[in-house]
Amino acid sequence: MLMAVCWTVTSVTASMTSALGVVLLTAVLVLMAQLPFNSHDYWLIRRSWTVMAIFAAAMFFAFGEQSRLGARTHLVLESGGSDPNEFSAYLILPLAYFVESSITAGGTRRLLAAASTVGSIYIIVLTGSRAGVIAALVVILIVSIRQAGRGIRNLAIVGTVGAVCTLIVSEYVWPLVPESVRARLSIEALVQDRGSLRADIWKSGVDLVASSDFRFIVGFGPNGAPLDHHVMHNHFLQVLVDGGVIGLLLFLGIILTALRASWCSVPIFAATVGVTIMMTTLTAYSNFRPAWAVLFMALLISSVRKSHEGVSPKGSSPHRLHAEWTPVPHTQGFAEADGRVSP
């Protein structure tokens, strides 16, 4: 990415800023996978995500407005900037945690988790973010399917909780959403406006790369594409335009590594898939913080698992190691192989 700045056709300063942001993010990702975290650290960070979601919800309902984007509710910063897509991304991982807890927790905690799930869905829908809504649905499906596969009891709980939450959302939450937002989220509207003209932007980006010479390999540099739209609204295509095939392969490596590393944690894996889907309709430079924060969590959980494997007895099977790091219902820690629960 830094090398691509050398042959960018736009401002070197702007390109360098974007490139340095990506480089720093990559460095943090690598560092996150190396730091010695334990299960207690993980649970503290998990709770911090919950606190962040509560704070974000309070800010949303207290200061959210509909002045610029029709009936879509969004937060406007002092600088005048606003991005409903980015705001909805902050709730993707907390939503995964809420869905998991509504299945695995018991009593009051299950009720609170189910209510938080419905509340998160309501906020994401109010933003009018199509990418956010799709990612939220994918997160709910992944967590539900993986939890349902852990036994008849879990399957029954998933079915019951899912039916109740679906009924509440369809009968009580959905009618509260402004009509224009509901229309925007319909399939008909998506087809009619061609995904807010994304289809045309994607075609121009693909045509540009396909017709280029050496830039097919090395790209045009950040913000360097000779197009009316420098932003591709698809980060995979954005990386291809900016960094060529080399940049795309490196980015795919990051995504695949995050997916593989997060597989042992159902909510983090679901959120990683969710933000990856969001990246197919949004450009996620370093300023798209929530998406990268989820990727950080994927490598963080990998670091936790590696630190545990480092002290595991020789001959431990992958299945045993996976079981050791499976969250246990009604507890605040992880199940150990001998039945103990870590802090």
Per-residue pLDDT tens digits for 25-36: 778 777 776 777
Confidence band for 320, pLDDT divided at 50, 70 and 90: very low
The pLDDT of 180-203, averaged and rounded, is 85
The tokens for 12 are 């070197």
The Cα 128–Cα 261 span in angstroms is 31
pLDDT-above-70 percentage for the chain: 79
| Whether residue 173 has pLDDT greater than 80 | yes
**SS3 per residue for 179-201:** HHHHHHCCHHHHHHCHHHHHHHH
- Check whether 307 has a pLDDT greater than 60: no
Q: Is the pLDDT of residue 83 over 80?
A: yes
Predicted local confidence at residue 13, as pLDDT: 64
Q: What angle do CA 139, 33, 22 make, to 5 degrees?
A: 80
Tell whether the model's pLDDT for residue 336 goes beyond 70: no
Looking at residue 224, its pLDDT comes to 73
- The span from the CA of 138 to the CA of 281, in Å, is 15
| 334-to-49, 129, 148, 237, 245 alpha-carbon distances in Å | 18, 35, 19, 39, 41
pLDDT in tens, 4-21: 555 555 556 666 666 777
Q: Is the predicted pLDDT of residue 62 greater than 80, yes or no?
A: yes
Does pLDDT of 126 surpass 90? Answer: yes
* 170 CA to centre of own chain: 24
> What is the number of residues in the chain?
343
Task: Output b/e per residue, 273-293; b: 16+ Cβ within 10 A.
Answer: bbbbbbbbbbbbbbebebbbb
> Rg of the chain over CA atoms, in angstroms?
21
Tens of pLDDT along 242-277?
A: 889 998 999 999 899 999 989 989 999 999 999 999
- Asked if pLDDT for residue 1 goes beyond 60, the answer is no
Average pLDDT over residues 275-288: 90
Distance of alpha carbon 182 from alpha carbon 70, whole angstroms: 12
Residue 219 backbone dihedrals phi, psi, to 5 degrees:
80, 180
In this predicted structure, the answer to whether residue 340 has a pLDDT above a threshold of 60 is: no
Mean pLDDT of 222-230: 74
Q: What is the pLDDT of residue 81?
A: 67
Mean pLDDT of 313-330: 42
Low-confidence winner among 4-13, 74-83, 126-135, 272-281 (lowest mean pLDDT): 4-13
For residue 322, what pLDDT is reported? 42
| Other Cβ atoms closer than 10 A to 42 | 23
**How high does pLDDT run on average in the chain?**
81
